[in-house]
Amino acid sequence: MPRRRQDRLDPERFATLVTEAIDRIPEQFARYLENVTVLIEDDPTPEQLDSVGLDPRRDTLFGLYEGIALPERPHDFHGHPPDRITIFRRPILDACRSEREVRREIEVTVVHEIAHFFGIDERRVRQLGY
């Protein structure tokens, strides 16, 4: 049976679920997220998809980290604009059949993108289950 978009979840409720997922990040990790902005967009742009090697005609993303990962920053790193984590609403809604599934996917996506901020590569993030 094909999956149906979770249309009943309005943008405000989706934003609340993202905020709740961020609020559940343990303090020992959350304290490092001071200069990280979390955004919600409807869909990734073709440029965002291309930046991670995906084909905009057939691929999509649930989230994207853009910035300089902590381990790659020089000791005098300051004055830079915030890193960005973008959560993409429509792809998540398209993949989920209930609010419960949406909540879980948002949580997984937030942790996945924060892991990239900490310098964990895609392969290792997936091995960890995110």
pLDDT in tens, 76-126: 777 778 999 999 999 999 999 999 999 999 999 999 999 999 888 878 877
Largest CA distance in the chain: 53
Residue whose tokens read 């405000």: 12
On whether residue 54 sits in a domain, the answer given is yes
For the chain, the domain total comes to 1
On whether residue 20 sits in a domain, the answer given is yes
Contact call for residues 40 and 18 (beta carbons, < 8 A): yes
On whether residue 3 sits in a domain, the answer given is no
On whether residue 2 sits in a domain, the answer given is no
On whether residue 4 sits in a domain, the answer given is no
Mean per-residue pLDDT of the chain? 89
- Measured between alpha carbons, how far is 83 from 77 in angstroms, rounded to an integer? 12
Axis-axis angle for helices 99-117, 11-23 (nearest 10): 50
On whether residue 65 sits in a domain, the answer given is yes
Contact call for residues 89 and 42 (beta carbons, < 8 A): yes
pLDDT of residue 1: 42
Residue 32 clears pLDDT 90, i.e. is over it: no
Model pTM score: 0.87
On whether residue 6 sits in a domain, the answer given is no
Nearest in space to 45 (alpha carbons), one of 64, 32, 27: 64
CATH number of the domain enclosing 85: 3.30.2010.20
What share of the chain has pLDDT > 70, as a percent? 94
On whether residue 107 sits in a domain, the answer given is yes
Range of the domain at 85: 11-70+80-127
pLDDT of residue 86: 98
DSSP state of 80: P
